[in-house]
């Protein structure tokens, strides 16, 4: 390409060369005369690009060289350590050998001295005993030869890859203290209950002239599976059916259960949407039926899938005015995959615009043909609000259950599924277990996932304590070592020892899997980044009040991934948002999502310092909508919540005609009268509302500063306890 002269270009564009140079000066400061050309500028830019590329390559080579040097250094240190241990072994062997030689020399000197003393005696005695002495000398020589012979090594058999020092001591018959001394000589500090691997145990045993032999042992998991054998048909007895209620959001699933159970569940849930799986038993015409209230919207897909795996019959609730919706189709597919028969409850037949025939037509499109149209699907029109058709629906449930001939063996160790689990402040880990086979009793040793323990207490859905629970019975169980995962299989085992061993073995396997997965994941990420180029990752940390919500949020948010942005959940757990969560978010450039939980004071401070975004929600839809909007670049919030202050409840005052007033100490910020109040207990939100009264001594005040005491009354709420935290906030408008 020919060079372009600045002067001639200026003439063509009818501008002065001086004016054009001024414009070009912003890009290139070195153009001082008309003779300079745009080509010179282009050449300079190319040179700078090459220099940057060379610098980048040089840095990459330096990093590779540094890693190689680090690897060599580690290998050298390892070789040096191995050499030191070998030299230590040789030194100790030399010391032992030297000690034996010294003892032998001392013994010979003593023998010669005794011999001289003996021959200095009377000649007659010498003659009498000379011959016997010769005989004794020969006997001593023979004895010495026998002692010098290498004794035959004892053998001991060990099972598995690791063994505790206590168990090794029992196997080889050597005191544990002696074994620990040998290990100390090898540079290993260990306690009596600590595990060592087979190779180390073999080296230590060889020091005591004992040979170890390793034999493969059955894992505790295998032993558990072997015990879970199929029951003899003669031992089986009829059991109640387990029913799952499925369907689209707001189609009336919980209202239908309310009509069946004559209780109210919906009002207890945020936004009127069931957030967790509940399990209930009802009596219909004297026959018990267990209902699983599976949340019906798409966010809880995984919970619904798990519910279908433990259920016998699925009731599909479809609103007569809405018809078949996306979650309805999803529920149909899950039930079909689990080979679960479906009974359709066409709800809201009493509302305006109800069209049951249209619902039946839409169901046909998805493989559900109702009986009156020649199919085998039972469809019952109901109105949960006015209790119409409920009896007919229950009769159909019992009819289908009878046709299935549901049976189980109650006279065996219990086996069941964890429906839900959470950590309760007063009771510790609490798990809702659906017993599927056998009978679970108080005092039984159980294991579920990595949690184990003894059943301390059992309660049904009404809170009544039970001593035992048979097949198809949902119960709350106390006594586990930790909170199990929802969906874990619960086994009743012989004793606490076996339960602990199974749990520990599972933890080890889980740890190994995580190590393998993390190493594999890093390689895959490296390859995919090379392949995909610059891909954006939206990293999330999810904290919720129960496991079911964590799982649901994780799966629903990861579904939002598209070609431009990939949503990844790097951590999900139960409990309040902690400082460690904020540190992880800072290291991973992640957003923290809190569902029905609050951050601790330390976590809040650290988040502000590290500039970490913490989003808190009580209804799952809001979380999904916010993340989706942020990904599309459409998130334009008008207001944001600003925390004004916190107060700790230190005393409770019950005043007639007023209610409960909390005696509080303002720990930080200030408490204002017209702010929004939130009561937090152990990191979980108990109440959201407003402040009814704010007093200093007997005077009403507008605000109370940090470090002062005050009395706070909450609107329409009296369940305040000492130790609770009252958080006050205001809504602040954000300028667009």
Residue 208 is classified by DSSP as T
Unique residue bearing structure tokens 């259950």: 401
The pLDDT value recorded for residue 533 is: 46
Token representation of residue 282: 């009802």
Q: Which of 82, 112, 145 is the endpoint of a domain?
A: 145
Residues 247 and 363 both lie in one domain: yes
Q: Which of 110, 145, 180 is the endpoint of a domain?
A: 145
CATH assignment at residue 345: 3.40.50.300
Distances, alpha carbon 668 to alpha carbons 308, 643, 648, in Å: 48, 10, 10
Q: How far apart are CA 72 and CA 87, in angstroms?
A: 22
Half-sphere exposure of 454 (CA within 13 A, CB side): 8
226 lies in some domain: no
Residues 268 and 400 both lie in one domain: yes
Residues 444 and 391 both lie in one domain: no
Q: Is 81 helix (H, G, I), strand (E, B) or coil?
A: helix
Q: Is 672 helix (H, G, I), strand (E, B) or coil?
A: strand
Q: Which of 359, 384, 405 is the endpoint of a domain?
A: 405
The pLDDT value recorded for residue 297 is: 37
- φ and ψ of 235, to 5 deg: -90, -5
Residues 248 and 361 both lie in one domain: yes
Tell which residue, 613, 593, 596, has the closest CA to residue 604: 613
Residues 662 and 612 both lie in one domain: no
Distances, alpha carbon 178 to alpha carbons 85, 95, 172, in Å: 19, 17, 12
Q: How far apart are CA 482 and CA 697, in angstroms?
A: 44
720 lies in some domain: yes
Q: H or E element: which one contains 41?
A: helix 38-119
528 lies in some domain: no
Q: Is 453 in contact with 490 (CB distance < 8 Å)?
A: no
458 lies in some domain: yes
Residues 607 and 629 both lie in one domain: yes
Q: How far apart are CA 620 and CA 556, in angstroms?
A: 10
624 lies in some domain: yes
Local mean pLDDT, 10-residue blocks, the chain (736 residues): 56 56 56 54 73 81 82 81 75 64 52 49 44 49 46 59 82 87 84 83 84 66 69 87 84 82 50 56 84 53 51 89 83 78 90 87 89 89 87 90 90 89 88 92 92 92 88 92 87 89 85 52 37 61 88 87 77 85 79 91 86 87 82 61 92 86 93 91 90 89 92 91 93 68
Token representation of residue 669: 């910020």
User: Which structural domain, as residue segments, surrounds residue 253?
Assistant: 240-405
Residues 188 and 77 both lie in one domain: no
Tell which residue, 30, 425, 506, has the closest CA to residue 225: 506
The pLDDT value recorded for residue 666 is: 94
19 lies in some domain: no
Residues 180 and 138 both lie in one domain: no
Q: How far apart are CA 623 and CA 298, in angstroms?
A: 13
Residues 161 and 254 both lie in one domain: no
First-to-last CA distance in the chain?
49
Note the helical H segments in 193-338. Answer: 198-207, 220-227, 253-261, 301-310, 326-337
Residues 330 and 442 both lie in one domain: no
Residues 269 and 394 both lie in one domain: yes
Token representation of residue 141: 């020589």
519 lies in some domain: no
Q: How far apart are CA 592 and CA 553, in angstroms?
A: 12
- SS3 readout for 407-439: EECCCCCCEEEEEEEEEECCCEEEEEEEEEECC
Residues 458 and 538 both lie in one domain: no
523 lies in some domain: no
Q: How many Cβ atoms are within 10 Å of 563's Cβ, its own excluded?
A: 7
Token representation of residue 260: 């069946």
Q: How many domains does the chain have?
A: 6
The pLDDT value recorded for residue 710 is: 94
CATH assignment at residue 168: 1.10.10
Q: How far apart are CA 240 and CA 398, in angstroms?
A: 9
Measured in whole angstroms, the distance separating CA 38 from the mean position of its chain's CA atoms is: 61
The pLDDT value recorded for residue 165 is: 86
CATH assignment at residue 597: 3.40.50.10050
């Amino acid at each position: 390409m020919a060079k372009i002269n600045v002067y001639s270009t200026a003439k063509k564009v009818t501008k002065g060369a001086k004016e054009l140079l001024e414009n070009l000066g912003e890009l290139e400061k070195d153009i001082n005369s008309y003779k300079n050309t745009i080509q010179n500028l282009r050449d300079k830019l190319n040179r700078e690009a090459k220099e940057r590329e060379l610098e980048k390559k040089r840095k990459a080579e330096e990093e590779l060289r540094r890693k190689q040097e680090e690897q060599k250094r580690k290998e050298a240190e390892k070789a040096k350590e191995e050499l030191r241990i070998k030299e230590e072994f040789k030194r100790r062997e030399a010391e032992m050998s030297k000690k034996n030689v010294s003892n032998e020399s001392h013994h010979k000197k003593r023998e010669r001295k005794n011999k001289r003393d003996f021959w200095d005696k009377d000649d007659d005695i010498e003659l009498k005993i000379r011959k016997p002495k010769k005989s004794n000398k020969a006997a001593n020589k023979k004895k010495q030869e026998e002692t010098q012979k290498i004794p035959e090594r004892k053998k001991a058999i060990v099972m598995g890859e690791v063994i505790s020092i206590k168990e090794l001591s029992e196997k080889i018959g050597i005191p544990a203290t002696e074994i620990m001394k040998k290990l100390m000589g090898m540079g290993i500090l260990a306690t009596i209950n600590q595990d060592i691997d087979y190779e180390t145990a073999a080296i230590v045993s060889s020091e005591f002239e004992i040979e170890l032999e390793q034999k493969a042992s059955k894992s505790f998991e295998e032993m558990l599976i072997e015990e879970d054998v199929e029951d003899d048909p003669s031992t089986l007895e009829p059991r109640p059916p387990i029913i799952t209620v499925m369907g689209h959001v707001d189609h009336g699933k919980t209202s239908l259960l309310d009509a069946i159970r004559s209780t109210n569940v919906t009002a207890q849930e945020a936004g009127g949407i069931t957030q967790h799986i509940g399990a209930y038993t009802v009596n219909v015409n004297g026959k018990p039926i267990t209902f699983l209230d599976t949340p019906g919207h798409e966010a809880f897909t995984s919970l619904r899938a798990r519910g279908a795996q433990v259920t016998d019959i699925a009731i599909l609730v479809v609103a007569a005015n809405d018809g078949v919706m996306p979650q309805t189709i999803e529920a149909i597919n899950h039930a079909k995959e689990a080979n679960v028969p479906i009974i359709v409850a066409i709800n809201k037949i009493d509302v305006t615009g109800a069209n049951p025939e249209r619902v039946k037509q839409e169901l046909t499109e998805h493989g559900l043909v109702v009986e009156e149209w020649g199919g085998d699907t039972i469809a019952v029109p109901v109105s949960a609000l006015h209790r119409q058709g409920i009896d007919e629906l229950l009769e159909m449930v019992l009819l289908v259950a009878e046709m299935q001939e549901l049976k189980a063996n109650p006279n065996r160790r219990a086996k069941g599924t964890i429906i839900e689990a959470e950590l309760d402040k007063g009771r510790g880990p609490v798990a809702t277990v659906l017993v599927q086979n056998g009978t679970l009793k108080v005092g039984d040793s159980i294991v579920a996932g990595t949690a184990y323990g003894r059943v301390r207490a059992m309660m049904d859905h009404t809170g009544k304590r039970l001593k035992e629970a048979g097949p198809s019975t949902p119960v709350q169980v106390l006594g586990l070592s930790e909170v199990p995962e929802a969906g874990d299989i619960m086994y009743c085992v012989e004793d606490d020892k076996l339960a602990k061993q199974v749990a520990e073995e599972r933890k080890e396997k889980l740890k190994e899997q995580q190590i393998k997965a993390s190493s594999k994941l890093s390689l895959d990420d490296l390859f995919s980044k090379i392949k995909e180029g610059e891909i954006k990752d939206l990293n999330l940390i999810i904290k919720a009040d129960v496991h079911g919500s964590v799982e649901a949020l994780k799966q629903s948010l990861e579904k939002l991934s598209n070609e431009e942005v990939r949503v990844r959940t790097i951590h999900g757990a139960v409990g309040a948002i902690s400082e460690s969560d904020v540190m992880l978010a800072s290291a991973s450039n992640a957003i923290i999502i809190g569902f029905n939980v609050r951050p601790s004071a330390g976590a809040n401070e650290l988040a502000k310092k590290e500039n970490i975004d913490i989003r808190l929600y009580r209804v799952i839809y809001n979380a999904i909508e916010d993340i989706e909007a942020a990904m599309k670049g459409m998130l334009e919030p008008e207001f944001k919540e600003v925390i004004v202050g916190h107060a700790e409840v230190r005393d409770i005052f019950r005043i007639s005609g007023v209610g409960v007033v909390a005696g509080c100490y303002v720990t930080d910020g200030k408490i204002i009268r017209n702010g929004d109040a939130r009561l937090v207990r152990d990191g979980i939100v108990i109440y959201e509302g407003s402040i009814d009264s704010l007093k200093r001594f007997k005077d009403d005040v507008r605000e109370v500063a940090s470090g002062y005491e005050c009395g706070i009354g909450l609107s329409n709420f009296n369940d305040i306890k000492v130790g609770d935290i009252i958080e006050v906030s205001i809504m602040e408008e954000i300028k667009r």
